[in-house]
C-alpha cells in the first residue's frame, strides 16, 4: 500500500477536546456583546472582514453583525475559505478594495495591502 493511501486514524483525545473550545469562545463572545456595544460608532464606511487562515465567512458572521450594528458597512471578502496569500485571492481582494474606494471614497484610516504580509493600517496623526 502506498503511503498516501494509508488509512488515517482518529485524532488524539486531547486534540479532540480542543475542538470544544469553539463553543466556549462563541458563548463568551455573546456574553461580551453588552460591553462591545459601547465601541465607537461607524459612519457607514465599508469594512472588509477577512477570515482567519483556513476559515471562511461563517467564522466572521458574529464580527460582521457587530460591525453592522455599530453603523459600518461590514462585508465578507467573497473569496470563500482563506487558504493563504495566493495570487488570485490577492488580486480579487485588491480589486474589491479598489471598487469600494471608487464607490465610497478613500478609507478614513489609511491602510495598505502588502503581499505576503497582510493589511497594514495606522492611525492618522
Q: Which of 41, 31, 101, 104 is nearest to 71 (CA)?
A: 41
Whether the full predicted model's pTM is greater than 0.75, yes or no, is no
The secondary structure of 46-115, three-state, reads EEEECCCCCCCHHHHHHHHHHHHHCCCEEEECCCCCCCCCCHHHHHHHHHHHHHHHHHHCCCCCCEEEEC
Angle, nearest 10°, between helix axes 61-69 and 21-36?
A: 0
Which pLDDT does position 109 carry in this prediction?
A: 57
pLDDT in tens, 95-119: 888 898 888 887 665 555 445 455 4
Task: Give me 29's grid cell.
Answer: 463572545
CA distances from 72 to 40, 49, 54, 110 (A): 10, 11, 25, 16
- Tell me the pLDDT band of 75, cut-offs 50, 70 and 90: very high
Amino acid at each position: 500500500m502506498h503511503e498516501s493511501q494509508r488509512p488515517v486514524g482518529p485524532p488524539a483525545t486531547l486534540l479532540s477536546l480542543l475542538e470544544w473550545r469553539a463553543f466556549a469562545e462563541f458563548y463568551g463572545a455573546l456574553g461580551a456583546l453588552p460591553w462591545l456595544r459601547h465601541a465607537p460608532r461607524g459612519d457607514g464606511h465599508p469594512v472588509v472582514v477577512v477570515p482567519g487562515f483556513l476559515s471562511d465567512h461563517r467564522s466572521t458572521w458574529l464580527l460582521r453583525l457587530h460591525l453592522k450594528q455599530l453603523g459600518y458597512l461590514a462585508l465578507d471578502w467573497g473569496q470563500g475559505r482563506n487558504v493563504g496569500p495566493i495570487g488570485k485571492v490577492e488580486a480579487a481582494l485588491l480589486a474589491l478594495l479598489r471598487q469600494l474606494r471608487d464607490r465610497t471614497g478613500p478609507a478614513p484610516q489609511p491602510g495598505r495591502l502588502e503581499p505576503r504580509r497582510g493589511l497594514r493600517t495606522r492611525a492618522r496623526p
